[in-house]
Structure 1
Amino acid sequence: MITSKTTLVGLLGHPVHHSQSPLMHNTAFTSKNLDYAYAAFDVSPHDLPNAVKAIRALGLRGVNVTIPHKVAILPQLDEIDPLAKRIGAVNTVVNENGRLIGYNTDGLGYVRSLIEETNVDLAKQTVTLIGAGGAARAVACTLAESGVQEIRIINRSREKAEQLAGQLRLMTEARVVEQREYQQAVEGGSLLINTTSIGMYPHTDEMPIPAEWLHSGLIVSDLIYNPLQTQLLAEAERAGAKAHSGVGMFINQGALAFELWTGIEAPVDLMRQTVLHHLQQGGN
C-alpha cells in the first residue's frame, strides 16, 4: 500500500507502456521490505522540462530515463556523474534533497551481461553499432574503454554518428559507415549491436538490417528485451550466429539504479526471475 511515507521513484520515457521496470523494481522493493513504489510516466519530449521539475516538486527519490530522453535530460540536471558525462547520456537520476544528479548504468550493465552470456573476448572484436542515441553512447563508450578493436557506426543521422565517432576515437578506432557500405560493415564485423527500437513490441516483425547480411561468425546483440527474442535475434540464430538478448543489460542496469536510490544491494537473481517469467508468459 502506498502511503504518505512511501518513497516514490519512476521512469520517464515515451512510450513506456511496454516497460518491465515497474514490475521488476516493485518486486525488488517488496523483497527488501522497502517502502518504495515505482511508476512509469509517459512523457513527450515537449514535456520533459516540466517532468524534471516534478521530480523535485513531488519529492521523488529518483527516476530511470529511457528513449527518447537520455541525452535531452542532461541540461535539466544539477550535476552529472563523470561516467555519464563521458558517455553524454543519463539513464538514472537521483534526487539528493532537491539536487538532481544524473548517472549512467547502461554501459556497465550491458558489458557485464555480454561477457556473462557469450564469454566474448572484447579485445578481439570489431563492432558494428546500429544507432547513435543515448543507449548507443553508453554501450559504445564502455566497449571502447574495454578495448575493442574498432567501432563502426550505422545511423540515419550522420551528424549524431560523427559526434559519437569523434568521442570514441579518443579511446579506440571508430568511423561512421556510409549507407552504401552498410552490408560490408556488418559482414566484416564480429559483434553486431542493435541499439535502436526497431523490432521492439509491438512492432516485433521489424528488423534494422536484412537477414541475409547475418553470418555464423557474428555475435548479434539486441538491446531490446521485449520480446525476449527479436526478429533480428531469431534470424541471427538461423544464420548460425550467437544471439544475445537485451534482458541481461536491462536487469543489470536496473540493479545498479536500485542501489543508487536505496544504498542497498539489489536482489539481482529475483529481478532476473521476475522479468524472465513475465516475458516468457507473454507479458508486455
Structure 2
Amino acid sequence: MVESAPVLELRDLETWSRPGTALAVLGHPIKHSISPAMHNAALARLAREHARFADWNYVRFDIHPDTLPRALELLYARNFRGVNLTVPHKIIAFDRVAEVDPAARPVGAVNTLRWSAGGWQGFNTDGYGLATAVTETLGRTLRGSHIILLGAGGAARGAAVECLQQGCASLAIANRTRENLDALLATLAPVANGIPVRGFAPATPPADLPVGALVINATSAGLRDTDPSPIDLAALPRPSAVFDMIYNPPQTPLLRQATALGVPNANGLSMLVHQGAKALEIWSGIPASQTAPAMNQAARAAFGL
C-alpha cells in the first residue's frame, strides 16, 4: 500500500511557508483521496529526467465549502501552481475563477485550477479522463457510439458534455428524478449539435434503445455494498460494454451483473488516473500520456492491486 499523505486544513494554509512548487487537492472529505500518491509518484519520476521538478510537491486539504473562497485566495497568494478540486467544490469554484476554459463552460464545473497573473484559470479534465479510460479499458471510443448514461448529477453532466463534444451517435440518459433529468436535458440542448438526446426512467427503459450501446454509470449507486444497481442491464437491449465511474469498491453491483451477462466492463480507476495526468499536463506542460503510467502504478498500489 502507498503511504497516504497527511490531511491538511485551512489553518495550515494560513501559515503556509513551505519552499518549492506546491500543488494541492481540495475536498470535503478528502482523507480517501489517492491523488497525492498518484501525483507525487509521477513528479518523482519526472524529477529524475527534469531537474525543474525536483521541488514540486502535491498535498491535500480538507476544506469546508463555506471556507472555499478563503482557501482559494490563500492558495493564490501562496503561489500554488495548481489545484485540483473534488466533491463538493467543482461547481462552487466555477464562478470564482478569473477564466474558464471554453471546453469546461458547458459542464458548469472545474476540477483543475492553474495559477496565472490574472487569477485562477479553470479547467475540467474529467471528460478527458472518461474518454481515455473507455478507450484504454474497453477498446471503445465515445465518438460514434450510442451512449446510455446513468444519472443526472454533476458527474453525469460532465460525462454527457464529453460524449456530445466527442461526437457520440446518440445519448440516452436514465435518472429516477424527472425534474433533475429535464434540467440536464435542457442544459445539453445547446451543445447537442444535432445528436439525438433523450431521457428515460431507469425502471422502465424504452424498447427502442439501441443494441450495442455503451452504458456509463455516473451515479453514486454502488459506493456502498447495500446499494442497488442503478439499472437492470437485462432490461436493456444488449450493451456492448459497461463503464462504471466508481473505482472504490472495484466491483459494483452493476459491474457484477455485466460480468454475469458476459458484457465487457471496467471501473473508474483508469478515469481517475487519466484525469489526474491531464491536470498535471496543464500545470507542467508534460503530456498526460507520459505521466499516466506512473500514476496508474501508484493508484493500483494504493488499493493493494
* TM-score normalised per structure 2: 0.80
Gapped regions of structure 1 (runs ≥ 5): none
Structure 1 residues 28 and 154: CA distance shift in structure 2, 3 A: same
Equivalent position of 2:263 in the other structure: 241
Aligned partner of 2:230 among 194, 206, 209:
209
> What SS class does the counterpart of residue 303 from structure 2 fall into?
helix
Once structures 1 and 2 are overlaid, which stretch shifts more, 49-58 or 233-242? 49-58
Q: Deviation of residue 223 (structure 1)?
A: 0.8
1:217-255 Cα deviation digits (max 9, x unpaired): 341111112233333212211122211221111111111
* Residues paired across the two proteins, number: 278
The one-letter amino acid of 1:195's match is A
Q: Which has the larger radius of gyration?
A: 2
Aligned partner of 2:184 among 159, 164, 167:
164
Q: Contact 2:151/2:173 (CA < 8 Å) preserved in 1? A: yes
Equivalent position of 1:272 in the other structure: 296
Structure 2 Cα separation of the partners of residues 273 and 214 of structure 1: 37
The one-letter amino acid of 1:255's match is A
Equivalent position of 1:116 in the other structure: 136
Q: Deviation of residue 123 (structure 1)?
A: 5.1
Equivalent position of 2:13 in the other structure: none
Structure 1 Cα separation of the partners of residues 208 and 59 of structure 2: 40
Aligned partner of 2:247 among 219, 225, 241:
225
The one-letter amino acid of 1:198's match is A
Q: Deviation of residue 256 (structure 1)?
A: 0.9
Q: Contact 2:200/2:206 (CA < 8 Å) preserved in 1? A: no
User: Mapping of 1:118-137 within 5 angstroms?
Assistant: 118-120=138-140, 122=142, 125-137=145-157
Percent identity, aligned pairs only?
A: 35
Aligned partner of 1:155 among 157, 160, 175:
175
Equivalent position of 1:19 in the other structure: 33
Structure 2 Cα separation of the partners of residues 30 and 279 of structure 1: 20
Gapped regions of structure 2 (runs ≥ 5): 1-15, 48-52
Q: Contact 2:128/2:278 (CA < 8 Å) preserved in 1? A: no
Once structures 1 and 2 are overlaid, which stretch shifts more, 45-54 or 136-145? 45-54
> What SS class does the counterpart of residue 227 from structure 1 fall into?
coil
Structure 1 residues 212 and 220: CA distance shift in structure 2, 3 A: closer
Q: Contact 2:202/2:231 (CA < 8 Å) preserved in 1? A: no
* TM-score normalised per structure 1: 0.85
1:89-141 Cα deviation digits (max 9, x unpaired): 21111111461010011112211221222222545533222222332222211
Structure 1 residues 41 and 231: CA distance shift in structure 2, 3 A: farther
Equivalent position of 2:20 in the other structure: 6
Structure 1 Cα separation of the partners of residues 107 and 177 of structure 2: 18
Equivalent position of 1:174 in the other structure: 197
Name the Cα RMSD after superposition: 2.7
Structure 2 Cα separation of the partners of residues 206 and 12 of structure 1: 27
Structure 2 Cα separation of the partners of residues 129 and 105 of structure 1: 19
Once structures 1 and 2 are overlaid, which stretch shifts more, 247-256 or 114-123? 114-123
> What SS class does the counterpart of residue 148 from structure 2 fall into?
strand
The one-letter amino acid of 1:222's match is D
> What SS class does the counterpart of residue 120 from structure 2 fall into?
strand
Equivalent position of 1:48 in the other structure: 68
Q: Contact 1:14/1:42 (CA < 8 Å) preserved in 2? A: yes
Equivalent position of 1:263 in the other structure: 285
Q: Contact 1:177/1:185 (CA < 8 Å) preserved in 2? A: no
Q: Contact 1:187/1:214 (CA < 8 Å) preserved in 2? A: no
Q: Deviation of residue 26 (structure 1)?
A: 0.9
Equivalent position of 1:251 in the other structure: 273
Once structures 1 and 2 are overlaid, which stretch shifts more, 233-242 or 45-54? 45-54
Structure 2 Cα separation of the partners of residues 69 and 245 of structure 1: 23
1:28-57 Cα deviation digits (max 9, x unpaired): 111112212212222333332223223223
Once structures 1 and 2 are overlaid, which stretch shifts more, 70-79 or 216-225? 216-225
